[in-house]
């Protein structure tokens, strides 16, 4: 009998965006999925995993992600995560996962912040293409099962508050020890440089993504859903100009798709 496809809920809050791109990436990874509003609580709990997309939920009033994090639907998402369901927070979704204490998730309370960017040229919102490098080939993480150690992935960022910080230096060392820091900002060649533009927002330890200790929840500030197809990448002008015969080439998966492929594999392994 054919294996049932994992079914992913892309949970949309007022002010979110990129929910359509997130669903496209889910479907391209051969999963089923649907965009669900935050208030469809009875529907949300039926799904095998969750994606919280980017944007400006509730206009990011007070600070980024905090109002989203207080919504009752997160009680359902937290319960699902406790039962092993994967949860991926992208940009604004990452901010909400930090604000509700699911990331880093060591003390069941808010332990970090995503502070305003530090950028020598631009104050506030900053959008560009960057590179992230897999810090560990950590097979326990739901989102890295197909990603090799120190693999470099091109992805865009688009945020004003993406700087992972904490005053607790012991926490940072604990995250490193636990292998919870999944991606770090790097050069195209994989060099970790703390200075701009390699580190586009001033995040401590060049952190781009963190997972919880169990490995099934990840908060990532860059946008893998915007870099899941070759056609989305910024350096394929020549390929596009070679004519319609190359349409299959530009529809091929880009490296960031592996995050969604890994999510699928994690769910399938868990079910088995």
Q: Quote the DSSP letter at residue 231.
A: G
Which stretches of 113-234 are DSSP H helices?
169-177
Strands 113-115 and 163-165: antiparallel
Distance from C-alpha of 210 to C-alpha of 184, rounded to nearest angstrom: 9
Q: In what order do the strands lie in the sheet with 7-12?
A: 32-37, 7-12, 49-52, 87-90, 217-220, 207-211, 181-186, 126-134, 152-159
Distance from C-alpha of 84 to C-alpha of 164, rounded to nearest angstrom: 25
Distance from C-alpha of 144 to C-alpha of 121, rounded to nearest angstrom: 33
Tallying the residues shown for the chain, one arrives at 272
Catalytic residues: 91, 223, 225
Dihedral of CA atoms 124, 95, 141, 194 in degrees, nearest 10, equals: 30
212, exposed or middle or buried, with CB in 10 Å at 0-12, 13-18, 19+?
Answer: buried
């Amino acid at each position: 009998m054919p294996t049932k496809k994992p079914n992913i809920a892309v949970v949309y809050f007022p002010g979110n965006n990129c929910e359509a791109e997130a669903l496209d990436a889910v479907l391209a990874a051969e999963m089923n999925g649907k965009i669900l509003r935050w208030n469809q609580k009875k529907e949300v709990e039926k799904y095998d995993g969750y994606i919280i997309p980017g944007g400006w939920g509730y206009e990011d009033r007070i600070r980024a992600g905090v109002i989203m994090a207080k919504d009752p639907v997160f009680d359902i998402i937290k319960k699902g995560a406790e039962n092993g369901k994967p949860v991926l927070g992208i940009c604004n979704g990452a901010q909400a996962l930090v604000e509700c204490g699911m990331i880093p998730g060591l003390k069941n309370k808010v332990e970090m912040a995503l502070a305003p960017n530090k950028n020598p040229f631009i104050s506030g919102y900053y959008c560009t293409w960057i590179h992230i490098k897999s810090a560990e080939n950590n097979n326990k993480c739901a989102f890295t099962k197909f990603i090799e150690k120190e693999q470099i992935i091109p992805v865009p960022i688009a945020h004003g508050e993406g700087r992972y910080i904490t005053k607790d230096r012991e926490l940072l060392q604990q995250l490193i020890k636990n292998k919870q820091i999944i991606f770090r900002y790097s050069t195209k060649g994989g060099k970790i440089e703390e200075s701009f533009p390699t580190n586009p927002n001033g995040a401590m330890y060049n952190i781009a993504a963190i997972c919880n200790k169990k490995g099934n929840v990840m908060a990532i500030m860059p946008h893998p859903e915007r870099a899941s197809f070759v056609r989305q990448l910024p350096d394929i002008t020549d390929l596009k100009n070679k004519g319609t015969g190359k349409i299959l080439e530009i529809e091929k998966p880009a490296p960031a798709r592996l995050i969604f492929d890994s999510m699928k594999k994690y769910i399938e392994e868990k079910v088995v």
